[in-house]
Chains A and B, each alone.
Chain A
């Protein structure tokens, strides 16, 4: 609760919270907010010579090249993009936590093996790998989420590793161990709670990265497949018309930017609040 009041006191974080709230609200209540179905190719949705319509009273954000309502597609696209953001990022935070924690706690050969593997993943051209995997795996929403999770856990693992190593040295862990607590108990009840702030911060910052990555994959045509709308594939479908129908590219683009920006602002504020030693740092 304290965290929330602290967040609300920072103007930038507050803007971020409100924006995210708005996007989540739009995604949840999409069928009730939109006047049209996202897949309907409306007869009045194209001009007489078959061009998409710019924003107007009838179509709040205009229509796309197939005469579908852009506002409706953005709302339903928010469902896809946010789902991938949450699932993919949740998965990568969990993988990162497990790998980092085990490596930091166990040390020994298992620990160094895990960390060498993490180093190796750092040298991987992540986006290239994600593009190759997504393209070759016949993408669906879940495949895209999985691919993103696979390339995104590395940073979390490294940070968790460093923190765990610091924690293991602390006296209260030593005390706990001398009281006879087993490894499992120490990890779950004494180390994990201390890693929670890190997990929350990265859970938030990571959503920004994930949303951007999903949009990128979908923009290349290897993410979520049309007609299911996602923010990236809305742009993918109309990119060649961007000179004649700029709203089709730049409105979804602005939505992606606003969402990623908001999660970054919230995450940054959370890092400030949850970890006072980081205050004032980048």
Chain B
């Protein structure tokens, strides 16, 4: 068990290295030249060359990458081209806002997904199940930005229940979190439903029913814990989806997180920030998956025994 987890940590480190390498190569092979952007379109070639030299862009790719990696290992993500400051503090300053948003989004999707999934499984093949499954399809097929605008239109502009945008009060987080959560809730509902149907077929569930236990107790205490594992694994994978989703959601709601930071950096070809945000996102994904691996044995004694 310990060996397995140790190996997973090692793999995670390798994956991060790979993500860094690929992003680095992709971003540096692009036609957009940061030096030209900083100097301005009409700057003379000497100034551009000087800036290229100053940023180290005139060195061979592999040297640039090794230099970057060396910095990373010392907690140095490089300096932003446009802000002229360290990248890491920029990201760290924005991170809490995104983490709040993600936590709220995951909460929405897990609560919705679990509830609907369990109800659908218990009432399977009935009309309620059909409606829930249809809704879950609508959820996974919704364009996030349209959901965001629709929620704004109905609950902010028309009903005035929530603010249009902004950050700081609990009311601000509701609409962005629901936007982020709706899409995932569809997947969760479907997964929970199929996992629950599998479990509800088992003999021990029939035994529990035969003992005369109430349906709610059988479902919540006996069946659900056995269906929870794939959901934990999925939250890990989900973080990846979320990191992309936050760019859209933060753009629409004006949420001051790393998604917005990335979006501004992308528009200004501020490569170090794009690299930094990508790496932090990949780190979040890797940590999410690792956490799922570490939590699994505590939730499921069968894994602990292996």
Which residues of A pack against B, CB within 8 Å? 12, 116-117, 119-120, 122-133, 135-138, 208, 212, 215-216, 219-220, 222, 232, 235, 239, 242-243, 246, 249-250, 253, 256-257, 260-261, 264-265, 268, 280-282
B40: chain A residues within 8 A (beta carbon): none
> In whole Å, how far is B125's beta carbon from the nearest beta carbon of chain A?
9
Q: Are B266 and A131 in contact (CB under 8 A)?
A: yes
Q: Are A132 and B153 in contact (CB under 8 A)?
A: no
Q: Are A249 and B262 in contact (CB under 8 A)?
A: no
Which residues of B pack against A, CB within 8 Å? 11, 14-16, 18-19, 22-23, 26-27, 30-32, 134, 137-138, 140-146, 149-150, 152-153, 157, 190-191, 193-194, 197, 237, 240-241, 243-245, 247-248, 251, 262-263, 266-267, 269, 274, 277-278, 281-282, 285-286, 289
Q: Are B150 and A123 in contact (CB under 8 A)?
A: no
List 7 other contacts, CB 8 Å, given A132-B278, A137-B30: A125-B240, A125-B244, A126-B240, A127-B248, A128-B277, A253-B146, A268-B137
Q: Are B244 and A250 in contact (CB under 8 A)?
A: no
A135: chain B residues within 8 A (beta carbon): 266-267
Q: Are B18 and A257 in contact (CB under 8 A)?
A: no
Measured in the bound complex, the distance between the Cα atoms of B140 and A282 in whole Å is: 13
Give the interface SS of chain B, mostly helix, strand, loop or mixed.
Answer: helix
Q: Are B266 and A136 in contact (CB under 8 A)?
A: yes
B281: chain A residues within 8 A (beta carbon): 125, 128
B197: chain A residues within 8 A (beta carbon): 280
Known: A124-B19, A257-B146. A220 touches B248 (CB 8 A): yes
Measured in the bound complex, the distance between the Cα atoms of B12 and A116 in whole Å is: 11
> In whole Å, how far is B185's beta carbon from the nearest beta carbon of chain A?
13
28 A-B pairs with C-beta separation under 8 A = A116-B14, A120-B22, A122-B240, A124-B22, A124-B282, A127-B243, A127-B244, A127-B245, A128-B243, A128-B281, A133-B26, A135-B266, A137-B31, A215-B143, A215-B145, A216-B248, A220-B263, A235-B145, A235-B146, A249-B149, A250-B146, A253-B143, A256-B146, A257-B142, A264-B141, A268-B137, A282-B190, A282-B193
Known: A122-B240, A280-B197. A128 touches B150 (CB 8 A): no
Q: Are A128 and B247 in contact (CB under 8 A)?
A: yes
> In whole Å, how far is A103's beta carbon from the nearest beta carbon of chain B?
16
Q: Which residue of A lies closest to B240 (CB)?
A: A125
A265: chain B residues within 8 A (beta carbon): 137
A125: chain B residues within 8 A (beta carbon): 240, 243-244, 278, 281-282, 285
Q: Are A212 and B141 in contact (CB under 8 A)?
A: yes
Known: A208-B141, A215-B143, A282-B193. A136 touches B269 (CB 8 A): yes
Known: A137-B31, A242-B149, A265-B137. A132 touches B240 (CB 8 A): no
> In whole Å, how far is B248's beta carbon from the nearest beta carbon of chain A?
6
A243: chain B residues within 8 A (beta carbon): 153, 157
- Shortest 5 CB-CB contacts between residues of A and residues of B: A127-B244, A253-B146, A282-B190, A125-B281, A282-B194
